[in-house]
Amino acid sequence: MFRLFASSSKGALRTAAKNQQVRNLSIHEYMSANLLSEAGIKVPKGHVATTPEEAYQAAKELGASDLVIKAQVLAGGRGKGHFDSGLKGGVKVIYSPEEARDLASKMINHKLFTKQTGVHGKECNKVFIVERKYVRREYYFAILMDRATRGPVLVASAQGGVDIETVAAEDPDAIIKLPVDINKGLSLESAQTLASQLGFVGNAREEAADTFLKLYKLFLAKDATQIEINPLVETSDHQVMCMDAKFGFDDNASFRQKDVFSLRDPTQEDPREVQAEKWDLNYIGLDGRIGCLVNGAGLAMSTMDIIKLHGGEPANFLDVGGSATAKQISEAFKIISSDSGVSAALVNIFGGIMRCDVVAQGIIDAVKELDLKIPLVVRLQGTNVDEGKKLINESGISIFPCDDLDKAAELVVKLSDITSLAQKVGVHAKLSLA
């Protein structure tokens, strides 16, 4: 997806931390196509299939000799991806129902790996069979929320059907940005001007402008955070169509967009993040080996930074919030321990509304229930800190207490290194205070 604000993964995490509990819903392509069609926007005809036989029937019903089969996975780069079945590419041109069935058998219930899925890939549970359109030109069009202008911005380019971020990096002048005053809306004149700038002429110009207006109306009506069309095309018979679409929706609007949020597919999400959401926890999985459990986004980011300062890598961002219960703390530990890559964990709590004795009880319950094998460094400060320390001291569980954050971070990095080394040689290291 084209980003107005280039950022590192760390910068993106900071944004996520500041905007707690904001999880932007993404939906599958075939669902996006349905939303577009309902809004009067032209899309290729298509049917979704969950089995190879359904793919065969879908291709047969479309009745065309030129079709496209697309893996329905919430990740970009599908066309250049590969499946664990050995199939190369998640978007394929097909010419018969039999070919649809054959390729579907190599996509459905197999993992697709792309540059956006990570090393674990994503399970493909459905395929989308659509009619193939022959196009004269391909364009890029998106509507995003822009922090700089505090409102929607239209982003467009005459270079569509390719990686738009590469276009933006190599040829910034090819990107057109049109901020929209959310109080006034997108005018017909502005839409027509944008269509002309992209190179649409004649009836296609008017149809493109009408498509832009309908997309903007849909963007507002559905509380979207993004609508990305890539490519937007002019077909050989001069129709303007949306060939591929990605939607994002603001979770804060879930109470009034129940129809949209019913489209959510949790199988495409990190199961740890799904579990965290159930318990009202803020969790983002990372690639390091040191689990973190902290209250407050700012403190969580500081904790991660100081771990990195001492040469470690955080395995997650996990903010339990300011009023978590002992049960929530326990569930947070379950999420951390479900990551097989975690070799040590650091708990850093500054009790204000959050009481240290509640946190301590949650830690004790989790360690006993999970029979936690990894070393655990705990720093407690603030409300009821003495009560919390007493609970831990009397619990009999093996914990490394530390009042100084810098020393706690240094210690957890060293413990992680020792545990990781032991794991590599197949030795279980049980560490405790001398």
Active site residues: 140, 228
Residue 406, both tokens: 């810098």
Pull the structure tokens for residue 140: 């890029």
- H or E element: which one contains 54? helix 52-62
Q: Please list, in sequence order, all residues whose beta carbon lies within 8 angstroms of the beta carbon of residue 397, skipping any fewer than 6 positions away.
A: 364, 367, 368
- Please give the backbone phi and psi of residue 296, each rounded to the nearest 5 degrees, phi first: 105, 130
Could you check whether the bond before residue 179 is cis, i.e. omega within 30 degrees of 0? no
Phi, psi angle pair for 429, to nearest 5°: -100, 120
CA–CA dist 290, 313 (Å, integer) = 6
Angle (CA) 102-104-107 rounded to 5° is 120
According to DSSP, the β-strands at 127-131 and 344-351 are: unpaired
Residue 71: φ, ψ to 5°: -65, 135
In 108-223, beta strands by DSSP E:
110-113, 122-124, 127-131, 135-146, 151-157, 175-179
396 alpha carbon, distance to own chain's centre: 40
Pairing verdict, β 376-382 and 344-351: parallel
**CA 359 – CA 389 distance, rounded (Å):** 10
C-alpha Rg value of the chain to the nearest Å? 25
Name the residue type at position 285. G
Residue listed under structure tokens 């004649």: 202
